[in-house]
Amino acid sequence: MTFSVLVCDAGHQPHHWTTKEDGIVLKVKNLIAYEMGDPATFRGGVSRMTGERSQIDVAPIIFLKNVLKYDSRTPPLTNKNLFARDRHICAFCGRHYPEHKLSREHIIPSSRGGPNNWKNCISACKACNHAKADMTLEEAGMELLFIPYVPNTAEKLLMQNRRILADQAEFLKAMLPEHSRLLGEQFPTYTM
């Protein structure tokens, strides 16, 4: 049974994915305040003293007793994260593309001082990116089909994990901002 455990802090903020083994360690060390979702039971060895087999339950979402420090709640701007935010859709032609046929497009071209940040970057197919070149939208006579935005931690976690449990997807989707492009998305969820 392979699944990732969603780790949240005491402030109910999602923080990161971890392995089920690390989830077991957190539970054994008594660092978990409470858990959410249907737990999975993991069995260990047989005790020489009692002759009984050890077992421990770990839920797919755990809440730690502490508030965690965040380097940044903003996901790093990588092509993979950008294409995931934009759902692998070109912001100009609206077609869906595999990752290798997309590129990062700067709305205000970097050659003209445009920043390399979430609000100035969109996914574009190579043909549309080439057509726009280093022109502004107005100069190229092109319009955006959607407005770029900065994703939050819940979006980052949804974009990172391709094997997500239904409980985890529901929890994270409840934390998405109303402008998120992931709101209408169906995630490939599975059960334990």
pTM, two decimal places = 0.73
52: left (phi over 0), alpha (psi -120 to 50) or beta: beta
Instruction: For the chain, give every domain's residue range.
Output: 4-70+161-190, 79-140
The reported pLDDT for the residue numbered 73 is 72
Predicted confidence (pLDDT) per residue in 105-123, tens digit? 999 999 999 999 999 999 9
User: Please, which residues bridge with residue 142 across strands?
Assistant: none
CA–CA gap between residue 110 and residue 56 (Å, rounded): 53
Which residues contact residue 82 at a Cβ distance below 8 angstroms, ignoring those fewer than 6 apart?
104, 118, 121, 122, 123
Q: What gap in Å lies between CA 153 and CA 155, rounded to an integer?
A: 5
Largest pairwise CA distance in the chain: 79
The full DSSP string for 77-137 is: --HHHHHHHTTTB-TTT--B--GGGEEEEESS-GGGT---STTTEEEEEHHHHHHHTT--H
Measured between alpha carbons, how far is 24 from 144 in angstroms, rounded to an integer?
Answer: 46
Q: Provide the pLDDT for residue 187.
A: 60
pLDDT digits (tens, 9 = 90+) for 26-52: 999 999 999 999 888 888 888 888 888
Mean pLDDT score, 127-145: 94
Strands 61-64 and 4-8: parallel
Given this model, what pLDDT does residue 186 score?
Answer: 64
Q: Is the pLDDT of residue 163 over 80?
A: no
pLDDT tens sequence across 67-107: 777 666 788 899 999 998 898 999 999 999 999 999 999 99
Distance CA 26, CA 7 (A): 10
Indicate the CATH number of 79-140 among 1.10.10.60, 2.40.30.70, 1.10.30.50, 1.20.1300.10: 1.10.30.50
162 pLDDT higher than 80: no
Residues of the chain with pLDDT > 90: what percent? 49
What is the three-class DSSP state of 18?
A: strand
Say whether pLDDT at 191 is over 70: no
Q: Please give the residue that has the higher pLDDT: either 109 or 169.
A: 109
